[in-house]
Amino acid sequence: MNAAQPKSLRTPADLANARLIGRDRLAALQHVAASYAVAITPAVAALIDQTDPHDPIARQFVPDARELQGRSEENPDPIGDSAFSPVEGIVHRYPDRVLLKLVNACAVYCRFCFRREMVGPGRGGLSPKALAAALDYIRTHKQIWEVILTGGDPLVLSARRLKAVTTELAAIEHVKVLRIHTRVPAVSPERVSGALVHALRVNKKASYVVLHANHPRELSKKARAACARLIDAGIPMLAQTVLLRGVNDDAQTLAALMRVLVECRIKPYYLHHADLAPGTAHLRTTIAEGQELMRTLHGRTSGLCQPAYVLDIPGGYGKSPIGPNYLSADGLMVQDFMGRNHGYPPQQ
């Protein structure tokens, strides 16, 4: 008889039994878990260094009592999804692309999640009726060139259900690109099966998978193999990272993450400034700190390792690049990666 497979840790008691928290924290974290979902997969639990009280993997997934300390500037919908949701499951913020939020569950629950008020076990996903209405919206809006599958995490769905959705999208002539945002290849790599890869390969469309990864240790041997299965099947991968205090807010860690992604044939895409989600202040850096980190990366790591540092403007106004500027206001001086200023001829 096969031994029982390890299960995800879903309660503070589970975390205590796994020695990821002390039992003295149980009462406080039960209050946190009552508000915000908890899930740590076996793959993630194996990455946590239990001897390090400041472990950067634990900091992302183990709940913290400070999550109940909200601030006035924080918002349950910090990037304004609801203001741009014409039908259930669709967010249409930009003219040529939409989000299709298939499911409200994830394999893991990040403590900084900007949709933390909306995701968790039992939150379900789109009903057949709601999914049909969302697909009809995409069909009737011919300016939609790209559909971004998100949630929650769409790769927690079965390969069969994903294939049904991608087949429907493949039949829409004006949709040319599918983009799938996920953490699954890093946090639950065993889910990236041949059937799942097949579900994401869309006939006559371009498919991209965007991996969310914040620390180089997340790219374990098994995670790299899962990513390779996607890439070797002809699905390009990009990566998005959230800048987090105590996780990746130092130049050495951030550079190591970007390099390991590129080594895995994954192009760093966005470095997100952390959103104003409730109870996440202890994980946010300042924009000035982020800009200084980008300055450090510039010129010291390959151009392949350079993500765009972006801020999702509160209220739903979209992403804006907020990286450092190297050109003077009059356009006559430009700064190199060593901080030295150089003249540039006036433009006619």
Whether 96 is in a domain gets the answer yes
Can 269 be counted among the known catalytic residues?
no
Residue pair 90/137 in contact by the 8 Å Cβ criterion: yes
Q: What digits encode the pLDDT tens for the residues 165-194?
A: 999 999 999 999 999 999 999 999 999 999
Indicate whether 178 and 147 sit together in one domain. yes
Can 227 be counted among the known catalytic residues?
no
Task: Point out the catalytic residue in the list 176, 205, 265, 319.
Answer: 319
Can 208 be counted among the known catalytic residues?
no
Can 116 be counted among the known catalytic residues?
no
Q: What percent of the chain has pLDDT over 90?
A: 89
Indicate whether 135 and 26 sit together in one domain. no
Indicate whether 37 and 124 sit together in one domain. no
Can 305 be counted among the known catalytic residues?
no
Q: What is the mean pLDDT of residues 262-284?
A: 97
Task: Point out the catalytic residue in the list 66, 97, 161, 222.
Answer: 97
Can 161 be counted among the known catalytic residues?
no
Q: Which domain holds residue 46?
A: 12-68
Q: What digits encode the pLDDT tens for the residues 191-231?
A: 999 999 999 999 899 999 999 999 999 999 999 999 999 99
Indicate whether 18 and 100 sit together in one domain. no
pLDDT at 242 over 80: yes
How many domains in the chain? Answer: 2
Whether 1 is in a domain gets the answer no
